Structure 1
């Protein structure tokens, strides 16, 4: 079950390396950017619940009004005049382990919901759920069992919602999910207003379970600007096709950035995100290096003369052999790096923790080249064969180095998880796929 810890310190500024205990550096599993979706809300009178999962931060238009009242960038319900409280259900875009929540009430001065609680469930079709459910008032109330042929009920599609409340048909459909008995990851808790333009309430979650849906309860009514559901994706690796390479770094499967040199515009986690880039803001971009020379010169090899580099290290979702590397510079037209390279290594959990403390000052001998220094072109998708086609080495971590600086949209590291290497036909040279004990597959 979840353990709650409220009033945490503000999240680190973007561009500041952070330890993994800072869950705000993980993926927002509910964001519209990764496929999160509002399934239901009791009321959307002043502003629809879809605003909760916008990928950008909330804003304020001080003097703007709609036909329903003051313009709000968030979810705001009407002042309740009937029994009960308001709530909404979100289908996560990335399903997996939840590490923490950010209930953001920025710009809702005087109108924010005074209390919240958050529940969660695993409602994957065909799954069997045996988790104990809890109720705030009565404690354990029993078990939820989903049969292998469980099908989620059809929830009516939500249209334009401003000024509306849930219909009887929507209420009947959502009742089939029995969301009032889902596990409580955050009990009913009072929200604390902070800076009007940056008012966050952070909640730490200590649970190893996989979740697919969350329910946000507000008591009794009011507004919330954003709900961030931070965590790591989780994949059933036993169901992986041994003949098809899979993206071992994908954030949806549990890949995560564990260190980086600079992130002026966009966290490196973005480049292992879901789907294709939609804009330059959807990738990783570093600041311009201040040590660049007044006049750039080109080496006879065709690369710019070295003048520093930037890097990001990723823990794979599963140890494995990388066979193909894809690097996407879409939308990086005036800020594409000159070149890049990729290296891999094996680290245990303790070694990773040590490297985080040492800011990834890992001896060069530990890194094995997966892609040599390679020229990049702006606004283009690049595909390369990994050197591990010859080395056949299993890795747990990969480091992308860009020279001298710039932006990358997506990084895909396709290959085969180590457990599947055993199932593949032996090639020459023979595969080697031992992994040290103590590797941590997820945060």
Structure 2
């Protein structure tokens, strides 16, 4: 069974599901700007047309017949420090945007073309039916980005990876979901995610179907499956919610949780170390398609930064919530 330990670029702050919004585009004649922020992968539907032409899964402007360029202003789900930007042109072949440049700003009100925008990329050459990942080397906190495309064309998806900027001092002594995506919680590694990715576990809201959770293959050997998660901030845990929504004939039959207080260790070292982490939640039964709240049986372990969630023997979990108080 292979270990899944995927690169972590940060939270997609341009996620529609997380709350990002496409505020304005000077043109979205062929395909609306809002599609560009969808979390799902873009699709191509042969033979599908609407009143303006071929239906495309992304943002697409009309063919420009004069000087200038097209642009779209996006409000990020939460302000943050940016690491990478992905410009996805999948399924755009003869109609992709040939080049792009990304600018950003921080604003507490809705920005406009008159706002002072800071370039955070050089002009980027794009190709059709491609995914372009660009490093961002700025330490400022940004709340909005402006995607400029030259001169026109289509972008299937825009993803803006970064670290949410949370003023944790305002959350001191308050119970929050320390694992929530919007505060920087993340999945680090798992031994298996055959049917559903570990990165679904801390998505906002309830799961939308069985594919919107973490699910391992059917185990045919001794042992159990597991996932390692990092909290958005060091904290003391009061409650844990394990939600098996939509998992009925394939839910995890039981779970346990181990925890650790870790500083400055590479993610790659954690799977082996996690075998010896202290126990927070003893092995506890789970039920199908149900939200389970664990509080009184949690052990006192002090402040922690990471969790290892064990499921027995295999199966699926939709969401994990870790309610506690940040230690400032």
- TM-score band, normalised by the shorter chain? over 0.9
8 Å Cα contact 2:244-2:317 kept in structure 1:
yes
Structure 1 residue 387: deviation in Å? Answer: 5.4
Secondary structure in 2 aligned to 1:282? coil
8 Å Cα contact 1:232-1:251 kept in structure 2:
no
Matches within 5 A, 1:3-402: 16-20=4-8, 23=9, 26-123=10-107, 125=108, 152-153=109-110, 174-175=112-113, 178=115, 181-193=116-128, 196=129, 199-242=130-173, 244-291=174-221, 307-349=222-264, 351-353=265-267, 355=269, 360-362=271-273, 364-365=275-276, 367-385=277-295, 391-402=300-311
Q: Which runs of 5+ in 1 are unaligned?
A: 1-13, 126-151, 154-172, 292-306, 420-443
- Between Structure 1 and Structure 2, how many residues are aligned? 327
- Runs of 4+ that moved beyond 4 A: none
Secondary structure in 2 aligned to 1:239? helix
Structure 1 residue 48: deviation in Å? Answer: 0.6
8 Å Cα contact 2:186-2:229 kept in structure 1:
yes
Query: Residues 208-241 of structure 1: CA distance to partner in whole angstroms, max 9, x if unpaired?
Result: 3332211111011001111112223231101115
Structure 1 residue 418: deviation in Å? Answer: 1.6
TM-score relative to the length of structure 1: 0.69
Structure 1 residue 410: deviation in Å? Answer: 1.1
Structure 1 residue 44: deviation in Å? Answer: 1.0
Of Structure 1 and Structure 2, the greater strand share is in 2
Query: Residues 155-192 of structure 1: CA distance to partner in whole angstroms, max 9, x if unpaired?
Result: xxxxxxxxxxxxxxxxxx8345x1xx322222211113
Matches within 5 A, 1:418-437: 418-419=327-328
Query: Residues 70-100 of structure 1: CA distance to partner in whole angstroms, max 9, x if unpaired?
Result: 2211111001124321000111224323221
Specify whether residues 341 and 27 from structure 1 end up closer, same or farther in structure 2 by C-alpha distance, changes over 3 A only: same
| Cα distance in 1, alignment partners of residues 11 and 217 from structure 2 | 22
Larger mean Cα displacement after TM superposition, 325-334 or 261-270: 261-270
Larger mean Cα displacement after TM superposition, 101-110 or 205-214: 205-214
Structure 1 residue 202: deviation in Å? Answer: 0.9
Of Structure 1 and Structure 2, the greater helix share is in 1
TM-score relative to the length of structure 2: 0.92
Specify whether residues 61 and 392 from structure 1 end up closer, same or farther in structure 2 by C-alpha distance, changes over 3 A only: closer
| Cα distance in 2, alignment partners of residues 267 and 207 from structure 1 | 30
Q: Which structure: larger Rg?
A: 1
What CA RMSD, in Å, does the superposition of the two structures yield over aligned residues? 2.1
| Cα distance in 2, alignment partners of residues 286 and 188 from structure 1 | 42
Structure 1 residue 386: deviation in Å? Answer: 6.1
Specify whether residues 18 and 368 from structure 1 end up closer, same or farther in structure 2 by C-alpha distance, changes over 3 A only: same
Specify whether residues 60 and 327 from structure 1 end up closer, same or farther in structure 2 by C-alpha distance, changes over 3 A only: same
Secondary structure in 2 aligned to 1:52? helix
Secondary structure in 2 aligned to 1:402? strand
8 Å Cα contact 2:188-2:267 kept in structure 1:
no
